[in-house]
């Protein structure tokens, strides 16, 4: 069964080794610095990065709106792949699955986020109402900028 009509796929090449890009996704001190689209602030309530572990957090938008978020990791293969379920709360019937792959690309890393929604309608709503494609691109751009800053600081030490 194809999932193409239920997917959003976003990728970006990041000028850093995949171990560092992977770590930026798996360590809360990194995630809280860059997660979310431009203008969003992420506040973590609980974080346990392991298969079956969860990340319970709030994203505050530029207009002051709070978005309750909940992620559970279902597969972790360091530093290659992370699979997770993402919803507003545990057992959210509209939760979606995201598969993150970290592929070496010379001295860079190709990060791909493949998000699969339960239905085409939920995918369309995420894209149209919540601007998921642009938000995903902005999030990966923030990750790229954050990692570039880490690498440049490391080179200065």
Each residue's pLDDT tens digit, 87-119: 999 999 999 999 999 999 999 999 999 999 999
**32-90 tens-digit pLDDT:** 899 999 999 999 999 999 999 999 999 999 999 999 999 999 999 999 999 999 999 99
The pLDDT value recorded for residue 153 is 87
Task: Return the SS3 of 135.
Answer: helix
Cα(128)–Cα(118) distance, integer angstroms? 16
Residue 2's pLDDT band, with cuts at 50, 70 and 90, is confident
Residue 156 vs residue 2, higher pLDDT: 2
pLDDT at 16 over 70: yes
| Predicted TM-score of the model (pTM) | 0.93
pLDDT at residue 155, rounded to an integer: 66
* CA dihedral (139, 109, 14, 77) positive or negative: positive
The CA-based angle 111-21-110, given to 5 degrees, is 25
Over residues 126-141, mean pLDDT: 95
Smallest Cα–Cα separation from 71: which of 103, 93, 97? 97
Question: Is residue 141 scored above 80 in pLDDT?
Answer: yes
pLDDT greater than 80 at residue 1: no
Q: What is the mean pLDDT of residues 110-131?
A: 96
């Amino acid at each position: 069964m194809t999932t193409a009509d239920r997917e959003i796929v976003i990728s970006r090449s990041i000028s850093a080794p995949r171990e560092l890009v992977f770590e930026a996704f798996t360590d809360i001190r990194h995630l809280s610095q860059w997660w979310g689209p431009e203008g969003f602030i992420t506040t973590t309530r609980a974080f346990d990065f392991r298969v079956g572990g969860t990340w319970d957090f709030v994203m505050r938008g530029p207009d002051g709106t709070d978005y309750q978020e909940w992620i559970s990791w279902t597969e972790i293969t360091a530093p290659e792949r992370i699979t997770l379920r993402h919803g507003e709360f545990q057992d959210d019937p509209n939760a979606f699955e995201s598969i993150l792959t970290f592929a070496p690309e010379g001295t860079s890393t190709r990060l791909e986020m493949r998000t699969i929604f339960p239905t085409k309608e939920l995918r369309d709503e995420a894209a149209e109402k919540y601007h998921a494609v642009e938000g995903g691109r902005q999030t990966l751009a923030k990750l790229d900028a954050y990692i570039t800053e880490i690498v440049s600081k490391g080179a200065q030490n």
